[in-house]
Amino acid sequence: MIKNIYFDLDGTLIDSAPSIIEGLKITLTKYGYDIPDYATLRKCVGPPFTYSFPNYLGVRDEDFKEAVATYRHYYDAENGCLNVEAFEGVEGLLDALVKRGYCLLVCTSKPEPTARKILEYLGIDKYFTDICGATMDAKINTKEQVINLCFSRSPWHQKEETILIGDTKFDVDGAKAAGIDCIGVSWGFGSTEEMLEHGALEVFDFPSEVLDYIESN
């Protein structure tokens, strides 16, 4: 029986692609890298930068630290992160789940202070018991690590009563590594086929379907 629901942020709760992609373009231009096509930039929405910068953008090790700092200055200090909106139907889903007694947490690879700022700006932070994210020093960075952080802050949560909702294979892999189930949503930035191949229980197209699934489990 599901009692606790951990939500990924980018691509699951919010459409953050415009702000993230703009920050990536600014960063790549500053360090002399070619700007890849939109499809490649879009892949960078969700995974931790320790994966996406070298693998998708070709950022060299010697540039990585300063490149991330440049991106974060635009995204955090200049409030680029607030160029964002919640996906249609998401707030209704959150409201329905809370009213039915489920415990909701945010579980994101985005730095936690940034995640809190965005959710407060959108006015949907009120639905969550806690907002857990990556640390600025990247000691907590992967989805598995953030899931474990969620459990450490809510030690009464049982893994068999907890599910992660995400939009990419990274969410599915992180959930599997942490020992919990994952369902996917198709309105984000990942591939339905990849999520199913990596072990997602189901992938849904609409928030109402997510609610029906959780209520039946």
Residues with a catalytic annotation lie at 8
DSSP per residue, 138-175:
SSS-SHHHHHHHHHHHSTT--GGGEEEEESSHHHHHHH
Q: Using CA atoms, how far apart are residues 3 and 159, in angstroms rounded to an integer?
A: 10
Backbone angles phi, psi at 77, to 5 degrees: -65, -40
User: What single letter denotes the amino acid at residue 46?
Assistant: G
Q: Which of 1, 4, 11 is nearest to 195 (CA)?
A: 11
Q: Using CA atoms, how far apart are residues 120 and 117, in angstroms rounded to an integer?
A: 5
Residue 175 tokens, joined: 């959930």
Q: Using CA atoms, how far apart are residues 202 and 213, in angstroms rounded to an integer?
A: 9
